[in-house]
């Protein structure tokens, strides 16, 4: 769109939900014209764990309930993600969530 219409900027919006790499990827593409590879499952897991740690540090245990939707976005389109998302909807503690993520990502 930059070339075709001369826009000054783009909106990302919901494209960033569960995909924080989108900002890095867009920046890299605009600078080099090259597309970066998708993040590995290991990278996804590490970012989710960091997200959980930061959210709980900021908001306390209530963040675990809020994180359920974020984890659902991160895992969208992964193998058996629907079943996994259903299983995390009852989780109440940070450690349970971290354990469930580790368990799930071992199956991928």
CA angle centred on 63, ends 93 and 61, rounded to 5°: 45
Q: Which CATH number fits domain 41-106: 3.30.390, 1.10.1200, 3.30.1450, 1.20.58?
A: 1.10.1200
Q: Mean pLDDT in the chain? A: 94
Q: Where along the chain do its domains lie?
A: 2-32, 41-106
Predicted TM-score (pTM) of the model is 0.84
What confidence tens digit (pLDDT) does each residue in 79-101 have? Answer: 999 999 999 999 999 999 999 99
Backbone angles phi and psi of 8, in degrees to 5: -90, -20
CA–CA separation, 96 vs 59, rounded Å?
A: 17
């Amino acid at each position: 769109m930059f070339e075709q219409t001369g826009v000054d900027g783009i909106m990302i919006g919901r494209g960033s939900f569960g995909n924080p790499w989108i900002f890095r990827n867009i920046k890299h593409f605009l600078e080099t014209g090259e597309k970066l590879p998708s993040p590995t499952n290991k990278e996804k897991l590490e970012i989710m764990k960091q997200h959980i740690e930061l959210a709980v540090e900021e908001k306390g245990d209530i963040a675990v309930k809020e994180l359920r939707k974020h984890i659902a976005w991160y895992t969208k389109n992964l193998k058996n993600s629907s079943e996994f998302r259903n299983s995390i909807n009852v989780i109440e503690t940070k450690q349970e969530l971290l354990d469930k993520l580790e368990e799930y990502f071992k199956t991928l």
